[in-house]
Structure 1
Amino acid sequence: MMKPRKNIALVTTPDHQIYMKEIPFPIAEPDEAIVHVKATGICGSDVKFWKTGGIGDYVVSKDIVLGHESSGVVIAIGSDVKNIQVGDRVSIEPGQSCWACGQCKSGRYNLCPDVKFVGTPPTDGTLARYIAHKASFLFKIPETMSFSTAALVEPISVALGGIQRSGLVFGQPVLICGAGPIGLNALAIAKAAGAYPILVTDIAQHKLSRAREMGADLVLCCQTSWDGKEVARRIRGLMGEVEEGLEPEVALECTGAQTSFYAAGYALRSGGVLMEIGNGHNEQMIPLQNLSMREVDVRFLFRYINTWPLVLRMLSAGKLVGVEEMITHTFKLEESVEAFLLAADPKGGSVKVQIVDEDEDEAE
C-alpha cells in the first residue's frame, strides 16, 4: 500500500478567482480507477472558464476544479475494472460518456447528452493530485513515453478530430489560422498526412517561429489593423508565390476569432472546406453570401472520437514531429496559480504550459 499525500487542486470561481485548495481523497466507483495525476496542460478553455466564466452554454456557476489535459499513474481500481491495473501509467481521455444513448450507440459518443467532461462545468477537472475516473477512458502508455508527452494526447486529439472532419488528403494546400497549441498540433498532423503547402497565420511572431521550426511552408504574421479580407488577400498572395493561382483548399481555423474566420472563408478556393476548430464568442457574424455563392463547406468540431489509441501510436513512433517542443514552461502542482497567470498573458511567450507533480507517494 502507498500512503497518499494531501490532495490539492486548482479551483476557479464564478467571480473569476483562481486558488489552490485541499480537497477530499477520491473514492472509486466499481468502474473507476484512482489516478495520481502527474502532468496536466493548460488549455485556452481553462483560461476562458477562469477569465470569462463560461464557454457557450457551459457556465461556471459554482467553484470548479479546472484541467482536462492529463496523464498519471493508477494507484487503485474499482471492483469491475479489467482493462488496467494498479501501477499502470495512463493518458486520460477527459470525456466520460454514458455508452447507452443513441449518439453513443451510433459511434458519436462525443455528442452524448449525458457526457461528464472533466474541467467543464459542472464536472470537476484533473488539476488535482488525485482523481477518480472511468477506467474505460484511461489508456496505458509505454514506459518510454513521459507523462508530459502523454498529457499532450488531448490537444493533439482536438486537432486530429478537426482534420478528420475536414477530409484533408495528401497534397492539398492547407491554411491553418492560429499557431497556438491546437494550430501547431494541426500543423504536425497535416505534415504527416502530406498536405502541401501549409500556411500558418498568427499575430504573435514567436508562435510563427515555432511553426517554421515544425515545418510550416509559409507563415503570415497578421496585423490587428487588417480586416479579414486583407488577411485573405495576403494569404492568397503567399500561396500564389508557390504556384500561380494556388489557393487553400482546406482551412483549419484554430482561434475562434471572427476576423480569422472571415479571412479563412475569403482565402479559400471555391468549393473548399472551412473547418472551425477554435472556440470564440457564442454569437458572431459570418460572410454568409460569399461562402454560399462559392459553395464553401463550413464544418464544426466538438472534441474528438476514438483518437487516443491512434495518437499514442503515432507519438510512440515519432510521427508527430515537434509536438513535445511546444511545452515551453513547466510548473509544480503547488505553483498552479502562477502557471495560469503565465498561460493567460499574451506577452508571456508561452505556447503550452504544463503543471506536474513528480513526487512519489510514501510507502507504508
Structure 2
Amino acid sequence: MKAARYYGPGDLRVEDIPEPVPTDGQVKVKIAWYVNNPPRISRVTSPLFSANRNGICGSDLHAYLSQTPTYASTEPHPITQETVPVTLGHEFSGTIVEIGPGVDTTKWATGTNVVIEPVLGCMKGECDTCCQGYRNLCPQITFIGIGGWGGGLAEYIAVNVRYLHALPEGISLEIGACIEPLAVAYHAVKRSGFTGDGAALVIGAGPIGLFVVKILRTLYPSITILVSEPATIRREFAIKHGATRAFDPTKVNVPDTVRLPWTHLYSVCAPEELMSTLPYGRKMQFLMST
C-alpha cells in the first residue's frame, strides 16, 4: 500500500509498504481520504490521493520543518518502541474491513465507519495521569501517526479497538476526520467556563480557532464573537461560520477595536497588545490538551 513516511525534518516520502495485519484486539481500517483543494491536484493519480476523507495537521508541518519532541526519531519511542520512518497522519476516519482475533464482534463489524482517537499514553501503573484516565497528559505522550503504530496518511491501518469510536448514522467520513481537532476546540470552550454572557474574542482563525467560533455560535446563537486574524481568507471564513466581526490585528488598534464588554479571550499566546484589553474583560490563556 502507499503511505507517507516521515524520516525526519525535511524528509517525507510516499512509499510502498506492506498492508498491516490486525493482531489480538485490533481491526484493519481502510482509511478515508479528503483532498482539501481538489482543483489544484486533480491530475494526481496516486492511490494515496484517490478517495474520500482525511486531514493534515499543522503539527505535521512543524515536524517537517524542525525536530518536534513527540514525533518519532532515530531513538525508539518509549511507548511505541518505533523509530523513523513512521507513517504520518492523526486526524482521520475510515471503514473497518477486517476483524482481528479477540475483538468483540457484537460491537465491531466490517463496514462500520470509525474515527480513530490517536492519543497514546504509556498506560503504566506508576503513571498517575494514565491511571486516572488522562493519557493525554502522560509525560511520554505521543500519537498514532506521530510516534508510530501506523497513521492516517496511508491506505490502511491496524489499530486496537480501544482507540476507535464508531461514527453515528448520518455522520460522514469527512466530518469524522475533523473530530480530533474539533474536540480540542470544544474542550477549550467548556474549560473556559463561558456561559454565553457578554462577548468572546478569538485570537487566530486557524482550524482550532475556527472550530471555537463554530462551537460558540452553535452553543450561544446571540453572542458577539470577535476574531483577530491577519489572513483575509481566514477572516472571511470566520464571518461565514459565525463570527460577528473579524479584524486584522496588523492594521487596527487592537485595544480600541475590542473595547466591548467581552468576557472571554480564546488564545494560546499573550502578545503585549492583548494585555491592554484586560480592563474590558477576562483573559483566558490555554495550554490546550485533548
TM-score using structure 1 length: 0.64
Could you say what secondary structure the match of 2:258 adopts?
helix
Q: Which amino acid aligns with 1:64?
A: V
- Pick from 58, 64, 75 the counterpart of residue 86 of structure 2: 64
- Pick from 154, 159, 166 the counterpart of residue 133 of structure 1: 159
Q: Which amino acid aligns with 1:275?
A: Q
Q: Is the 8 A contact 1:35 1:131 kept in 2?
A: yes
- Pick from 17, 20, 23 the counterpart of residue 26 of structure 1: 20
Q: Which amino acid aligns with 1:75?
A: V
Q: Is the 8 A contact 1:248 1:267 kept in 2?
A: no
Change (3 A) 1:122 1:261: farther
Deviations 1:216-240 (A, max 9, x none): 11211122xx7xxxx7xx3442333
- Pick from 117, 123, 130 the counterpart of residue 104 of structure 1: 130
How far, CA to CA, are the matches of 1:151 and 1:202 in structure 2? 25
Q: Does residue 51 of the first structure (1) align with residue 51 of the second (2)?
A: no
Q: Is the 8 A contact 2:5 2:85 kept in 1?
A: yes
The match for 2:263 is 249
Q: Does residue 237 of the first structure (1) align with residue 256 of the second (2)?
A: yes
- Pick from 22, 25, 36 the counterpart of residue 30 of structure 2: 36
**1:132: how far off?**
1.3
Q: Is the 8 A contact 1:37 1:73 kept in 2?
A: yes
**1:214: how far off?**
0.9
Change (3 A) 1:81 1:193: same
Could you say what secondary structure the match of 2:256 adopts?
helix
Deviations 1:110-149 (A, max 9, x none): 1134555112235542211011112122111134222111
How far, CA to CA, are the matches of 2:87 and 2:279 in structure 1? 43
**1:189: how far off?**
0.8
Q: Is the 8 A contact 1:236 1:247 kept in 2?
A: no
Q: Is the 8 A contact 1:253 1:264 kept in 2?
A: no
The match for 1:81 is 103
How far, CA to CA, are the matches of 1:123 and 1:77 in structure 2? 17
Q: Does residue 301 of the first structure (1) align with residue 288 of the second (2)?
A: yes
Identity %: 29
Change (3 A) 1:103 1:206: same
Could you say what secondary structure the match of 1:215 adopts?
coil
Between 1:107-116 and 1:78-87, the stretch displaced more is: 107-116
Query: Which residues of structure 1 form unaligned runs of 5+?
Result: 1-6, 241-245, 277-299, 305-364
Q: Does residue 275 of the first structure (1) align with residue 285 of the second (2)?
A: yes
Could you say what secondary structure the match of 2:217 adopts?
helix
Change (3 A) 1:122 1:130: closer
Deviations 1:306-361 (A, max 9, x none): xxxxxxxxxxxxxxxxxxxxxxxxxxxxxxxxxxxxxxxxxxxxxxxxxxxxxxxx
RMSD (Å), alpha carbons:
2.5
Q: Which amino acid aligns with 1:111?
A: L
Q: Which amino acid aligns with 2:119?
A: G
Change (3 A) 1:271 1:144: closer
Q: Is the 8 A contact 2:205 2:235 kept in 1?
A: yes
Alignment of 1:1-364 (within 5 A): 7-38=1-32, 39-54=53-68, 56=69, 58=71, 60-61=73-74, 62-82=84-104, 83-97=107-121, 98=123, 101-113=127-139, 115-122=141-148, 124-194=150-220, 196-223=223-250, 234-240=253-259, 246-253=260-267, 261-269=271-279, 272-276=282-286, 300-302=287-289, 304=290
How far, CA to CA, are the matches of 1:80 and 1:114 in structure 2? 28
Higher helix proportion: 1
Q: Is the 8 A contact 1:60 1:122 kept in 2?
A: no
Could you say what secondary structure the match of 1:249 adopts?
strand
Query: Which residues of structure 2 form unaligned runs of 5+?
Result: 33-52, 75-83
Q: Is the 8 A contact 2:197 2:263 kept in 1?
A: no
Q: Is the 8 A contact 2:261 2:281 kept in 1?
A: no
Change (3 A) 1:20 1:198: same
Change (3 A) 1:66 1:262: farther
Q: Which amino acid aligns with 2:167?
A: I
How far, CA to CA, are the matches of 2:101 and 2:133 in structure 1? 27
Q: Which amino acid aligns with 2:288?
A: L
Change (3 A) 1:123 1:269: farther
**1:27: how far off?**
2.4
Change (3 A) 1:196 1:261: farther
Aligned residues: 256
Q: Is the 8 A contact 1:265 1:274 kept in 2?
A: no
**1:60: how far off?**
4.4
Q: Is the 8 A contact 1:252 1:274 kept in 2?
A: yes
